[in-house]
Amino acid sequence: MVQKVDPIEVKMWVERLRNSKTDEEAASAASGLSHLRIRTRGTVRTRGRGFARAADSDFPLALQQEAMEVALSALKERGPTVRREVAFALGQWGDETAARVLEGMLVGEKRDDEEDVRLACIDALRSIAGHAAVRALQSVAEKDASEQVRYAAIEALAELALTEAPAARTRGAVRTRGAVVKPKANLSPEAKEVLATLLRIRDDEKEPEYIRRSARAALTHLEE
């Protein structure tokens, strides 16, 4: 069920974010938006299906666009505390636009330099799921300069591909005309890409052991 959100309350927090004089005020406003748990039109995540798209919400489109414009402005003009809170808010909005913004904060030319902000982006993408989220998390899991960020990305991938996406895999071996078909053969294309990423991390001797161990744990569940 889509959560009902009072547009007046959304408007209030958007205006507070827009008109805030300090980063402390802006962070508080972004946090207020995040706690509303808005789900916008085009929301990606449906419970139990990490790669699926949910039905549209009743969040007014004009207000959605206004909130996104103010959030993007805050990302460009504000400090790391505000950017972290905006990332959390984007994770709650959950649409493809939010996912692409978060992806840009993690990889590419607009990558955020602050580790805490990138960790917030990973948490947000874990909430959104969908194609853009998985793509960004795969890249970060292998390429980010921070071990903590890579570890968080692996954990998020494990949740999306394993725990939260039962439709993307099968549980247990399946017998077909006397032959046992193992679950790994029945993975969706996206889950197979995640599998390949985790395998590379597990086998990379240059990676810290705790990161390789996290990849091994995810692979163990994937192959159950």
Of the candidates 214, 74, 115, the one whose C-alpha atom is nearest the C-alpha of residue 123 is 115
In a domain, residue 148? The reply is: yes
Q: 18-30 pLDDT, tens per residue?
A: 999 999 999 999 9
> What pLDDT, on the 0 to 100 scale, is given for residue 160?
80
In a domain, residue 19? The reply is: yes
> What pLDDT, on the 0 to 100 scale, is given for residue 38?
62
Instruction: Compute CA 164 distance to the chain's CA centroid, rounded to the nearest angstrom.
Output: 12
Q: 64-91 pLDDT, tens per residue?
A: 788 889 999 999 999 999 999 999 999 9
Helices (H) and strands (E) in the chain, counts: 10, 2
> What pLDDT, on the 0 to 100 scale, is given for residue 181?
39
> What pLDDT, on the 0 to 100 scale, is given for residue 150?
95
- pLDDT tens by residue, the chain, 224 residues: 455 667 888 899 999 999 999 999 999 999 998 887 665 544 444 444 454 444 445 566 788 788 889 999 999 999 999 999 999 999 988 778 889 999 999 998 889 999 999 999 999 999 888 888 888 999 999 999 999 999 999 999 888 866 544 444 434 444 434 443 344 556 677 778 888 899 999 999 999 999 999 999 888 876 66
> What pLDDT, on the 0 to 100 scale, is given for residue 195?
86
> What pLDDT, on the 0 to 100 scale, is given for residue 162?
62
Residue numbers of the domain that contains 28 = 7-162
> What pLDDT, on the 0 to 100 scale, is given for residue 70?
93
d(Cα 174, Cα 22) in Å, to the nearest integer? 59
d(Cα 42, Cα 101) in Å, to the nearest integer? 15
Q: What is the radius of gyration, based on Cα positions, of the chain?
A: 19
CATH of the domain at 125: 1.25.10
In a domain, residue 28? The reply is: yes
Angle, CA of 194, 195 and 196, to the nearest 5°: 90
In a domain, residue 152? The reply is: yes
In a domain, residue 194? The reply is: no
d(Cα 126, Cα 190) in Å, to the nearest integer? 15
Task: Please report the sign of the dihedral spanned by the C-alpha atoms of residue 126, residue 130, residue 136, residue 140.
Answer: positive
In a domain, residue 92? The reply is: yes
In a domain, residue 79? The reply is: yes
End-to-end alpha carbon distance in the chain = 31
In a domain, residue 204? The reply is: no
Work out how many domains the chain is built from and give that number.
Answer: 1
